Amino acid sequence: MRVYSERLRVPVSWWLVVLACAALLATTLWAGLSVATAIMIYAIFEGACVALLLGWGAARITVTTSELVAGSRRLPLARIAEVAAMDAAQTRALRGPRADPAAHLLVRPYLPQAVYVRVAGSPPEPPYWLIGTRRPAELAVAIEQARSGPRSCPTPGRHTLPANGHAEDGGVTHEAPGAVG
């Protein structure tokens, strides 16, 4: 049963900018050539951009009662050790200077927030997943809800780490590697 699903579609503003840039480049290349060549150049550039954006936006995040699917990768819920919704600063740190090269990243530049999923096991391969999303708190809660089964779902605040990396409920937490404090 599907608990959560989100498709990481490319925003309309990105479509407009990319297609305008492709048209500008095609116009530059067309200068001085025949109209038939111009049509071919426009078709190739615009078609390549459409294919790229459709492929990029086809990634889907799905949480079922047994697994987390992020793009083409699957992770059984039993292997998840920790889940935390990340704000933009934490996500930026985990995508850049604090990133682990072995981690699985499903991020997009138009998605500033993400969910951090620490993988259990020895040795965990990859050590964590960083999943870009438009609704990080909802995704974190959905993962926790699916992990805990039919029991009641905890509040979203228990799964999010503020910018200082400490839980607000006073409990012991493992600070996510991207926590900025």
Q: What is the pLDDT of residues 84-120, one digit of tens each?
A: 999 999 999 999 888 899 999 999 999 999 999 999 9
In-domain check, residue 129? yes
Contact between 149 and 127 under an 8 Å Cβ cutoff? The reply is: no
User: Is the pTM here over 0.85, yes or no?
Assistant: no
* Residues of the domain holding 39: 8-56
Query: Tell me, what amino acid is at 178?
Result: G
Q: How many domains does the chain have?
A: 2
133: pLDDT confidence band, cut at 50, 70 and 90? very high
Same domain? For 50 and 84 the reply is no
The Cα–Cα gap between 23 and 147 comes to 48
pLDDT for residue 161 is more than 50:
no
In-domain check, residue 46? yes
The Cα–Cα gap between 7 and 134 comes to 10
For the stretch 21-39, pLDDT in tens is: 999 998 888 888 888 998 9
Residue 101 is inside which H or E element, if any? none
